[in-house]
Amino acid sequence: MKRLPLADCFDPTGERFGIPTHSWRLAPDGLATRRQLHGRGLRPGGQDVAAQILRPRRRREPLTAYLYRVDLAKPVRPMTSAKWAALAKANTARRTCPSCRRDAGYVIPPSVGSCVPCAYPDHSEPARST
């Protein structure tokens, strides 16, 4: 898609883009993005996209954000105890060093692949004197 001027991003009837389209930050009340819905404790709940927002950019296609009706949104499903347990297990695995098998206390970056003492054994911290 080619670069669109700001005025070309406004199509409230949907004739040009197939769905109502608004300029960035000019969406009508009652519509929200997924992230905005989640911030209110809601989810789209299976409804179709009601409109979209286009934000033009230089030398690239515009950013697109899909909008959903707030009045048709449903509450976010609560986490079950099994989901909480699975999330805790996954986070523990991300913190466990594959080299020394210890909990690093932070998420180990995939680019490094192990905790800092295992990744850089020559750069050990000097002992602190109290």
One DSSP character per residue, 54-87 reads EEEETTEEEEEEEEEESTT-EEPPPPPHHHHHHH
Assess contact for 43 and 37: CB atoms under 8 A. Answer: yes
Total Cβ atoms within 10 A of residue 79: 11
CA atoms within 13 A on the CB side of 104: 21
pLDDT of residue 42: 97
pLDDT of residue 22: 87
d(CA 12, CA 26): 11
Q: What is the pLDDT of residues 87-124, one digit of tens each?
A: 999 999 999 999 999 999 999 999 989 998 898 888 76
Angle, alpha carbons 23-26-30 (nearest 5°): 125
Residue 77 pLDDT exceeds 90: yes
Residue 12 pLDDT exceeds 70: yes
d(CA 76, CA 87): 17
Q: What is the pLDDT of residues 35-69, one digit of tens each?
A: 999 999 999 999 999 999 988 888 888 889 999 99
The residue that leads in pLDDT, 36 or 129, is 36
Tell me the domain boundaries of the chain: 6-75, 81-119
Residue 80 pLDDT exceeds 80: yes
